[in-house]
Amino acid sequence: MKIDRRNFLTYTTAAVLGGAAGSMLTPAPWKLMDDVSIWTQNWPWTPVPEAGPVTHKQSACTLCPGGCGINVRFVGTRPVKIEGLKDHPVNKGSLCPMGLSGLQYVYGPDRVGSPLKREGKRGEGKWKKITWNEALTAVTDKLASLRKSENPQSLACITGSSRGTLPSLIGRFLTVYGSPNLLRPATVQDANEQALFLTQGKQGTLGFDIENADFILSFGSGILDGWGSPGRMFRLFGTRKSEQRIIQIEPRLSNTAAKASRWIGINPGTEGALALGLAHVIIKESLYNKNFIEKFTFGFNDWTDDAGITHTGFATLVEAYSPEKVSQITGIPKPLIESLAREFAASPRPLAINGRGQGTLPGSIDESLAMQSLNALTGNINQIGGIYIVPEQTYAKWPDLGMDATASKGMQQPRIDGAGSDQFPNTRSLLNRLPGLINSVKGDSPVQALLVVDANPMYTLPDTAATRKAFDKIPFIVSFSSYMDETAAYADYILPDHANLERYQDIPTPAGMAHQTITLATPVIEPLYDTKHTGDALIHIAKSLGGFVEEAFPWDDYETFLADTLQDHWSDLKEKGVIEISPDSKDSAVLSFNTASAKYEFCPAAATRQGSKDSNAPSAYTPAAIEGDEKRFSLLLVPYDSIRLSGEQIANSPFMTKTVEATVLKKQMTLVEINPKTAKTLALKEGSKAVLTTPKGKASVIVHLYEGIMPGLIALPRGLGHTAYSEFLAGKGTNTNDLIGSVEDPASGFDMAWGIRAQLSKA
Amino acid sequence: MSSTDHHHTHSAKAAPDPDHHESGASGSQPAKSSGWGVFLFFMIGFVGSLISGWILFPELLYSKKSQPIDFNHSVHLDLVDDGCNSCHFFEEDGSFTGMPDLSKCVDCHESAQTDDPEEIKFVDEYVTPGIEVPWLNHSKQPDCVFFSHSAHVMGAGMSCESCHGDIGTSEHTRVYEENRLTGYSRDIWGHSISRLGKPEPGDPLPMKMNDCAKCHEEETGHKGACFQCHK
């Protein structure tokens, strides 16, 4: 057998084929296939936490006001997972996507790692790293100069909420400094608080014993979409018994509506009318709780005051809201209104809840009053499965404030936003009015320096363009944000706070909880970056300002302040993380009311309803004056909330954005939902590119046809369209606030704009 | 004759053609690829790959390592009261401690108890400077696998030996064969590269996913759901 050039190839081929055939009969290819796949899991550049013993540390989630307890799983020194805390009274082990992805807020790319000073133009993104000493000195100098020029009230501070000790510390700082301008966004809780005060004469928040109610009438509340404490609501759905009926009333088939016992579509913004219509049927058919109405309420029937003037009672008022009329307003068939009213009244423990979506829009006081009157008609107040009054958190008394002449003069100035004025006497803060008021002033802005704590008004306030214009007029903006959010990106200085898991924060009773709790978020890790607790930063600034301001802050740091403020609770909280305060027996004495009549007042006797013509008029339905010309803008834009998106001061984590469906966000574009019928009239198809125009602005969107949205409406998700933050969020979709303005409730000044008129045209 | 002639003539006519062709093409006799040659080379390849696949491949795939200390399980097992549990125990919350860390050893081995060179090495190199021993774990699973010792030992009442073999009676540590590609021990795949046949009595059981599923099917009637282990 001779091998030459010619047959060499033949024999080689034979050998290779033999080898290949043989190898198939060995374990090598199969084993290698398995090993290679495992090898790809262990690429050295894939980050893997270091090995170590597994431990757990308890704390609380501070990413939204929900106040859920969390259990952080550690491997060695590194937290690797956040889970719901099983025995926490709020969430009992459940947790929302935001809380679950809480680690991404700590380790993600959005963090501000050190104090920064703006170098380029505002919002240009050019920063210079400075030391904490330089940063605190810069802020102290500016604040000292405003006081020196006898203009302390031109310092304003925007916080995310008024709840907890940090806003109280800021309030104390502003008072002794001389400014009444502590602003924060209002939510439905504020509207409910006012309704509570008007009807029951008590200061406190409204709690819903939703777990024990058997018939829940939800006026658009996104129970599964972030309303109240998301962890608590997840738990509710997880453990819900089939007897518990949830009736979801809203114009869009939301996740909540899809999981409810029944979804009733309603014309947007007409929920108040429906509540009065239901009351009409309940009263007409005599289905109300007569014992409660007779003994414990006032203003149900017409009444005459001491001066001999006759006032309209609630029963007379709702006569005007016949099912026929309400059917016209709401678009709900008359028989359905009637059967709904009967079912509600016939249930042993019915409960009406309010706050559209996540409840971030306060809405009008009338609306809150109308919905609470349903709970009053069934006598479901301070009862299991009903509404409860949760008293405001009381703190230990701090040392008395000494105030100098500058501070006293400053504090006598009216608030910039008009809250607490004669026009809006019961309202505490009206952040929604701030941009408009600054823009309407000719010359210097009434706000000369702005401190922003745990808030992102440049993103969350309606009408982004107006907000930016207003902020342009403020010469000195300091953000205390942990993240590079829109407001931080537009600030002059950033004094970054520690992130969640890194700092102390006390959380009073979360929105909607029926009973009082205090939760303490304790730091479970050391701060990763050169950050400082905002409480510490403010105490430092106060001490540097000297005089009475310094004296008002005898505490060395925020932790001492917190311990001092929570006093008796502090050691309990440090040990257990949460305490439940059982209601004071006096307060919970069923049906004790602090109103003038000592009863539940359908028609508040106090002359508090300045907006209406008759200062003693009971609640009625007044539709919000939605912006836009009906001819030019034939459709209505309604923003909607989703548990997978956050429209609030802390934006989505990358994980949350990842969970958003392709029918909500496609690449960088938001999808708007319209009914196929609406699409037909506009000649739009599924996936068409379109331009969404409102009186406030324009946006490019993709059309998604959805049977679950009522014809004539355009649904747009809240929580997208960020311009700041990292690549995981910036530039994705449309911010609803770019397209929507604020409409003031004449009685409270609260924003009641549930939408805006809009047009959708083919791009 | 005529037929012979004819034949001759025919062959004479026909014969020169191939010659002509061959000389015209190469000028020498060609080495034809014979069927036997092809078969021979096929078999060379076939047998060669069988040998490398069955014998060389496992040798190349795994590197051999020794444990940092030649630990004697047998001696320890005789001295302790609670069997394996004495050192490999469950925490109160049900989590399994696995290999004991130095703090457990220090109780007895603050200084060397014997003149065994391995113990002296252990004390000098690890105990005194306070360095954890980098034991090589024969049963280490990837991070994507959740395994609860508690469910198996406390719940199902299984013994340590039923998976880990008679390690408790060993006097010396075994050679640790590390897969060069994956970094995991050969024990996970099983000593048999073909995964055929059963391990010798007293040897640890293989711990691939199929092994889990097989045992679960036999014991519980169901292979189990994905999320039970891949959380």
**DSSP of A222-249, one letter per residue?**
-TTTT-S-HHHHHHHHHH--TT-EEEEE
Q: From B33, which residue of chain A is nearest by alpha-carbon distance?
A: A7
* Paired sense of beta strands A245-249 and A262-264, if any: parallel
B9 found inside a domain: no
Q: Inter-chain contact A7–B49, Cβ cutoff 8 Å?
A: no
Quote the minimal CA–CA distance from A93 to chain B in Å: 17
Q: Is A4 on the interface with B (CB under 8 A)?
A: yes
Contacts of A35 in chain B (CB under 8 A): 61, 179, 181-182
Q: Are residues A497 and A537 in the same domain?
A: yes
Give the phi and the psi of residue A76 in degrees, each rounded to 5: 65, -125
Contacts of A34 in chain B (CB under 8 A): 189
- The whole-number pLDDT of residue B28 equals 54
Instruction: Point out the residues of chain B with pLDDT beneath 70.
Output: 1-33
Q: From A4, which residue of chain B is nearest by alpha-carbon distance?
A: B31
A611 found inside a domain: no
Q: Inter-chain contact A1–B193, Cβ cutoff 8 Å?
A: no
> Which tokens belong to B76?
């320890």
Q: Inter-chain contact B49–A1, Cβ cutoff 8 Å?
A: no
Contacts of B28 in chain A (CB under 8 A): none
Q: Residue A411: CB partners within 8 Å, gap ≥ 6?
A: A153, A175, A178, A179, A180, A403
> Which tokens belong to A8?
């060499």
Q: How many domains does chain A have?
A: 5
Instruction: Point out the residues of chain A with pLDDT beneath 70.
Output: 1, 583-591, 603-619
Separation of alpha carbons B34 and B30, rounded Å: 11
The DSSP 8-state label assigned to residue B81 in this structure reads: S
Q: Are residues A311 and A408 in the same domain?
A: no
A580 found inside a domain: no
Q: Is A80 on the interface with B (CB under 8 A)?
A: no
Contact between residue A674 and residue A706 where contact means Cβ atoms under 8 Å apart: yes
- The whole-number pLDDT of residue B66 equals 95
**Angle CA(A256)–CA(A676)–CA(A334) in degrees, nearest 5?**
60
B172 found inside a domain: yes
Cβ burial, residue B15 (10 Å; 0-12/13-18/19+): exposed
Which residues form the domain of A356? Answer: 210-381+589-601
A201 found inside a domain: no
Contact between residue A361 and residue A639 where contact means Cβ atoms under 8 Å apart: no
B114 found inside a domain: no
Separation of alpha carbons A648 and A718, rounded Å: 9
Helix A558-566 to helix A534-545 angle, to the nearest 10 degrees?
A: 100
Contact between residue A402 and residue A413 where contact means Cβ atoms under 8 Å apart: no
- The whole-number pLDDT of residue A618 equals 55
The 3-state secondary structure of A624-653, one letter per residue: CCCCCCCCCCCEEEEEECCCCCCCCCCCCC
Q: Quote the distance between the C-alpha of residue A636 and its chain's center.
A: 23
Quote the minimal CA–CA distance from A7 to chain B in Å: 5
Which is it for the CA torsion A28, A33, A36, A37, positive or negative? Answer: negative
Does an H or E element contain A758, and which?
A: strand A756-762
Cβ burial, residue B227 (10 Å; 0-12/13-18/19+): exposed
Give the CATH number of the domain where residue A684 resides.
2.40.40.20
Q: Are residues A406 and A550 in the same domain?
A: yes
Q: Are residues A355 and A398 in the same domain?
A: no
Separation of alpha carbons A554 and A551, rounded Å: 6
Q: Are residues A351 and A241 in the same domain?
A: yes
- The whole-number pLDDT of residue B19 equals 44
Q: Are residues A301 and A425 in the same domain?
A: no
A70 found inside a domain: yes
Alpha-carbon distances of A483 from A3, A529, A697, A728, B38, rounded to whole Å: 74, 12, 27, 13, 72
Q: How many helices (H) and strands (E) are present in chain A, helices listed first?
A: 27, 30
Q: Are residues A557 and A655 in the same domain?
A: no
Smallest Cα–Cα separation from A381: which of A315, A300, A293, A312?
A: A293
Q: Are residues A178 and A318 in the same domain?
A: no
Residues 33-52 of chain A whose Cβ lies under 8 A from any Cβ of chain B: 34-36, 38-39, 41-42, 48
- The whole-number pLDDT of residue A562 equals 95
- The whole-number pLDDT of residue B15 equals 44
Contacts of B142 in chain A (CB under 8 A): 38, 41-42
Which of A27, A39, A54 is nearest residue B181 as measured by Cβ atoms? A39
The residue behind tokens 């049906």 is A591
Smallest Cα–Cα separation from A734: which of A693, A763, A762, A705?
A: A693
Does an H or E element contain A390, and which?
A: strand A387-391
- The whole-number pLDDT of residue B27 equals 47
- A545 beta partners: none
Q: How many domains does chain B have?
A: 1
Quote the minimal CA–CA distance from A13 to chain B in Å: 8
Which residues form the domain of B221? Answer: 138-229
Contacts of B189 in chain A (CB under 8 A): 31, 34
Residues of chain B with a CB closer than 8 angstroms to some CB in chain A:
30-34, 36-50, 52-54, 57, 61, 95, 142-144, 179, 181-184, 189, 193-195
> Which tokens belong to A201?
């004469």
Which of A2, A7, A28 is nearest residue B53 as measured by Cβ atoms? A28
Q: Inter-chain contact A19–B48, Cβ cutoff 8 Å?
A: yes
> Which tokens belong to B144?
């994507």
Separation of alpha carbons B121 and B127, rounded Å: 9
Contacts of B38 in chain A (CB under 8 A): 10-11, 14
Q: Inter-chain contact A22–B144, Cβ cutoff 8 Å?
A: no
The DSSP 8-state label assigned to residue A495 in this structure reads: -
Q: Quote the distance between the C-alpha of residue A736 and its chain's center.
A: 15
A615 found inside a domain: no
Q: Inter-chain contact B45–A41, Cβ cutoff 8 Å?
A: no
A488 found inside a domain: yes
Q: Are residues A496 and A553 in the same domain?
A: yes
Q: Inter-chain contact A38–B181, Cβ cutoff 8 Å?
A: yes
Quickly list DSSP for A597-609: TSSEESS--SS--
A233 found inside a domain: yes
Separation of alpha carbons A84 and A234, rounded Å: 11
Q: Inter-chain contact A31–B61, Cβ cutoff 8 Å?
A: yes
B173 found inside a domain: yes
Q: Where are the alpha helices (DSSP H) in A244-311?
A: 255-259, 271-284, 290-296
Q: Are residues A180 and A266 in the same domain?
A: no
Q: Inter-chain contact B34–A1, Cβ cutoff 8 Å?
A: yes
- A335 beta partners: none
Separation of alpha carbons A317 and A320, rounded Å: 6
A204 found inside a domain: no
